[in-house]
Amino acid sequence: MDSTTSTDEIAFDSPFFRIYKDGRVDRFQGTDTVPPSLDPQTGVQSQDVRFSSDPDLSVRLFLPGSSDPARKLPLLVYFHGGAFCIESPFSPIYARHLNTLASAAGVAAVSVHYRWAPEHPLPAAYDDAWAAVRWVAAHALGERGAVAESWLRDRADFDRVFLAGDSAGANIAQHVAARAGVEGLPGLRIVGVALVHPFFRNDGPDKLMDFIFPSSSGVTDPRMNPAYDPNLGRMAGQRALVFVAEKDHLRERGRSYYEALKKSGWKGVVEIGRASS
């Protein structure tokens, strides 16, 4: 076989990225970035903080500019979507999204960067997300680490922490909340979780999962299918909000998660929000 032909064999193809059998990845979107700034439309300030060098991990922080400097703000920890393979806190779409969220909700926000699959297969993204929330928690505990950020230390209310994400990021947010409920997360009190069209696995074959999470146990892996998590009822938080969209192919997975959480014995309040498009 011609070497050029063999190296160009496609293992997985989507409108957003292409994975070749030799491990290369072509990303067609989700790689653009914008620098942190003072957003002129919302007045929200942002800055980037690199909190780990091995692995290389960072966050983008957002702070409403009109808030009283003496007042502590609820803290939103946000995980972006993109099938675990594209997008970042630094992309234009998520920079705009978090600027709007921070301004409208009056919260300080931490938008978490995690390593992309398939170059860094899952569970790398889960590990990175957990490392990020533990770094946030270190500020609440007054720990003296290599990287500390005054915006968090001085402005965040660590007793009012919300986890949120969309698509793959909603999956990660749920995982972090579930892990915090089992292992604990000293310093942070998670009060709510918001999952926007969450990307969970169904009970059928999923070719994408085979590439981005090769070590997964399959359809019963609780990280990809929380309905199989025996500890789902121990998830941290007092309220969960699941959003699904009528025409989204992930809608049934979101509804299934909503039903599973209701039946799990979780002591919080779970609601589902539906959009018509």
Is residue 191 within 8 Å of residue 164, measured between CB atoms? no
Sheet holding 17-20, edge to edge: 10-13, 17-20, 25-27
Is residue 171 within 8 Å of residue 200, measured between CB atoms? yes
Q: Which whole-number Å values give the CA distances from 89 to 24, 32, 80, 84, in the listed order?
A: 23, 11, 7, 13
Distance CA 243, CA 108 (A): 22
Packing angle of the helix pair 124-140, 168-183 (nearest 10 deg): 60
167 tagged catalytic: yes
- 145, burial (CB in 10 Å: exposed 0-12, middle 13-18, buried 19+): exposed
User: 88, 167, 216, 264: which one is catalytic?
Assistant: 167
Return the amino acid letter for 69: P
Catalytic residue annotation? 167
